[in-house]
Amino acid sequence: MTRPAPALHLREDLLTPRFYTTEIGKAARTDLESQRPAFEAMLAEMEADYNRDHFDRRAPLERLRRLSPDQKVAYESDLVRSCISEFSGFLLFKGLSLQLQKAQRPELSRLFNLMARDEARHAGFLNRALVAEGIEIDLPSLSAKRPITWFPLDWVLYSVYLSEKIGYWRYILIDRHLKAQPQNTFAPLFDFFEPWCQDENRHGDIINMLIRCWPGLNTGLRGRLLSRFFLWSVFLTHSLTVCERGDFYRLLGMDPNRFDEDVMRQTNRTARRAFPVVFVLDGSRYFQLRDQLVDTYRQLKDCAGQPLKRMGLNARFGWLLLRHFLQPMQASAEGKA
């Protein structure tokens, strides 16, 4: 039997998914009592495991229509990035679960263990799709080789909330598009997106509940600064990633810029439920500056060996980042539908 080849799409750059850890001692001090009914409801929903039978290990994943070499690379590169991202979530949640168990917080430990279960299923399913493409990623070995990034707990809660919610909107918008244009459903993996995205949505709601357990985390100047920084950084990373993976979205029959805007609009609207402020996306220069950042990013990638040009582009990119970061925001209460 021929073994799959090592993954050829693993590149180390600013957009590569990372592995994280956080303040375990502080996490163990989370006071659940103010959110007890919500916590019990979410734990029961996770225990019910509605997607238990969804990720069928026997499901065929080899159905692909004929793709050109460039199209195949675009599809496989997206699979690799998504697989590593899901595995990163598994490691974070599993590590928290083990440490919280040691800290004698069995309820919190159980909740994170159930979220780790979901992330492991996602990563495993994506890995199976890669094996069907003849690509193998040794995920445990990869996690041992890459450094673990430490973040404060409030950073982790904000960033994980947004990553789960933006993941939900990415999956559901692709699913809706492909149901409207089934001729573009070239891989069986897409058949699993609708129930899959509900896991992302549930995880985001759980993190929102944990944010509410910490008075002051989403209020006042601290809450406004955290909201601005993480919405901006997560949205910018998404825009640059979609730019880099544009061929994948065009392969699905989607316009990458339009998809990026739709994901940001929906995630920004959803974030009103968790964050004190969100960006004003319409009637501001937000998307215009996004386009300029993406264009400058493309030029930076293409100017190797031209130090003077690269210096000028870096200065332009930094100035655009600052202007983009300072775009207007509105109080969540003002923006609620």
C-alpha–C-alpha distance, residues 188 and 182, integer Å:
12
Who has greater pLDDT, 63 or 43?
A: 43
Which residues are within 8 A (CB) of 215 and not within 5 positions of it... i.e. 6 or more apart?
none
* pLDDT higher than threshold 70 for residue 174: yes
Residue range(s) defining the domain that contains residue 35: 5-53+67-335
Collapsing DSSP states into helix, strand and coil, what is residue 149?
Answer: strand
- Neighbouring CB atoms inside 10 A of 54's CB total 16
* Unique residue bearing structure tokens 């850890």: 21
> How does DSSP assign 87-104, residue by residue?
HHHHHHHHHHHHHHHHTT
Percent of the chain surpassing pLDDT 90: 60
Q: What is the average pLDDT across 286-302?
A: 93
Answer yes or no: is 81 within a domain.
yes
* Any domain includes 40: yes
Domain assignment of residue 174, yes or no: yes
d(CA 133, CA 62): 8
Cβ atoms 161, 208 nearer than 8 A = yes
| The pLDDT value given to residue 17 | 67
Span 90-147, pLDDT tens digits: 999 999 999 999 999 999 999 999 999 999 988 988 888 888 778 888 887 777 777 7
HEC string for 29-45: CCCCHHHHHHHHHHHHH
Using a pLDDT cut of 70, give the percent of the chain over it.
91
Going by pLDDT thresholds of 50, 70 and 90, the confidence category of residue 215 is confident
What average pLDDT score do residues 5-16 get?
50
Residue 58 domain-assigned?
A: no
The answer to the question of residue 60 being in a domain is no
Residue 300 lies in a domain: yes
Contact in structure between 207 and 264 (CB atoms under 8 Å): no
61 confidence band (pLDDT: 50, 70, 90)? low
Q: What's the mean pLDDT in 276-295?
A: 94
Residue 182 DSSP symbol: G
Across 38-47, 87-96, 142-151, least confident range: 142-151
Assess whether pLDDT exceeds 90 at residue 328.
yes
> Each residue of 291-321: b (16+ CB within 10 Å) or e?
ebbbebbeeeeebeeeeeeeeebeebeeebb
User: What pLDDT score was predicted for residue 38?
Assistant: 96
**Is 219 contained in some domain?**
yes
**How many domains is the chain built from?**
1
Torsion (CA) 29, 33, 37, 40 in degrees, nearest 10:
40
Residues 156, 221, 211, 33, Cα dihedral to 10°? 140
- Is 150 contained in some domain? yes
Verdict on whether the full-model pTM lies above 0.75:
yes
Q: Which of 45-49, 263-267, 310-314 shows the highest mean pLDDT?
A: 263-267
| Parallel/antiparallel/unpaired status of strands 19-21 and 148-150 | parallel
pLDDT confidence band for 10 (50 / 70 / 90): low
Statement: residue 337 has pLDDT above 70: no
